[in-house]
């Protein structure tokens, strides 16, 4: 699956390169629209490759215990809300409604801001990928005193019992052929789980096929 994931975007990039070269050789005029269309495809595939390689490197570092978190006291409510709001336009452009709700206004958690952001982006990004137009994504924060619960719930396609056990494992994406079409490295949840574990927390999923999925992160307030 990994070689496939690496090869696909590279093949796309090579094909487009070849195509443009041929047009140039034949001195065929390329309209700016056509050119920007090709550039967009190249952009998407470069990002996909970069994302995959970054995830692979981080995954190896975490497995070798050489990944260092930079923990500080952060207001988790502000952190999650800002991250989710940054994705609001992207979510609504897909015709999906976004609701953010919290039962506390402020809550300090010792954590690596960038890495928690990354987990939220992964979860919300997945929720968008697997929810159709007209659907709903709800992000909620609940204060559990010495812990905090962050939930990302969608009304998407859901996950079968069998796949629930597999999705936090490396290159799990192979379990779902339709997911392959949607792009992704099959590493997002693996890295998210590793990062949450490094914070002394837990991440799990509750889901029903055809109804939706809820990914839940439990983070301890103090985890040094």
CB of 159 to ligand ADP, least distance (A): 5
Binding mask 184-203 for ligand ADP (x = CB under 6 A): xxxxxxx-------------
Choice from 45, 59, 126, 155 touching ligand ADP (CB under 6 A): 126
CB of 6 to ligand ADP, least distance (A): 14
Mind giving me the DSSP string for 75-122?
A: EHHHHHHHHHHHTHHHHHHTT-EEEEEES-S--EEEE-HHHHHHHHHH
135 binds ligand ADP (CB under 6 A): no
Contact 16, 46 (CB under 8 A): no
Q: Which residues are bridge partners to 220 per DSSP?
A: 147
Q: Which two tokens stand for residue 89?
A: 């336009």
**Cβ closest to ligand ADP, residue 45 vs residue 213:** 213
Choice from 58, 74, 115, 176 touching ligand ADP (CB under 6 A): 176
Choice from 49, 148, 179, 203 touching ligand ADP (CB under 6 A): 179
**3-class SS at 72?**
strand
Choice from 157, 195, 203, 217 touching ligand ADP (CB under 6 A): 157
Choice from 67, 147, 154, 155 touching ligand ADP (CB under 6 A): 154
Mind giving me the DSSP string for 161-218?
A: HHHHHHTTSTTGGGG-HHHHHT---S-HHHHHHHHHHHTT-EEEEEEETTTEEEEEEE
156 binds ligand ADP (CB under 6 A): yes
Residue 210 CA neighbour count, 13 Å, CB half? 0
Interface positions with ligand ADP (CB under 6 A):
122, 126-127, 130, 154, 156-157, 159, 167, 172-173, 176, 179, 184-190, 213
């Amino acid at each position: 699956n990994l070689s496939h994931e690496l090869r696909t975007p590279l093949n796309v990039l090579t094909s487009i390169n070849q195509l443009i070269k041929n047009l140039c050789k034949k001195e065929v005029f390329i309209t700016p629209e056509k050119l920007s269309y090709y550039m967009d495809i190249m952009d998407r595939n470069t990002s996909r490759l970069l994302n995959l390689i970054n995830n692979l490197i981080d995954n190896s570092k975490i497995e070798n215990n050489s990944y260092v978190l930079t923990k500080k006291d952060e207001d988790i409510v502000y952190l999650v809300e800002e991250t989710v709001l940054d994705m609001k336009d992207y979510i609504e452009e897909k015709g999906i409604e976004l609701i953010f709700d919290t039962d506390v206004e402020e809550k300090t958690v010792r954590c690596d801001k960038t890495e928690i952001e990354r987990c939220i982006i992964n979860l919300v990004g997945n929720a968008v990928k697997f929810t159709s137009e007209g659907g709903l994504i709800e992000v909620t924060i609940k204060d559990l005193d010495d812990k905090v619960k962050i939930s990302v719930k969608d009304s998407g396609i859901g996950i079968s019992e069998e796949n629930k056990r597999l999705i936090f494992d490396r290159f799990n994406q192979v379990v779902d052929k339709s997911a392959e079409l949607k792009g992704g490295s099959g590493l997002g949840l693996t890295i998210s789980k590793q990062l949450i574990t490094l914070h002394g927390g837990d991440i799990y999923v509750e889901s029903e096929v055809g109804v939706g999925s809820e990914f839940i992160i439990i983070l301890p307030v103090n985890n040094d």
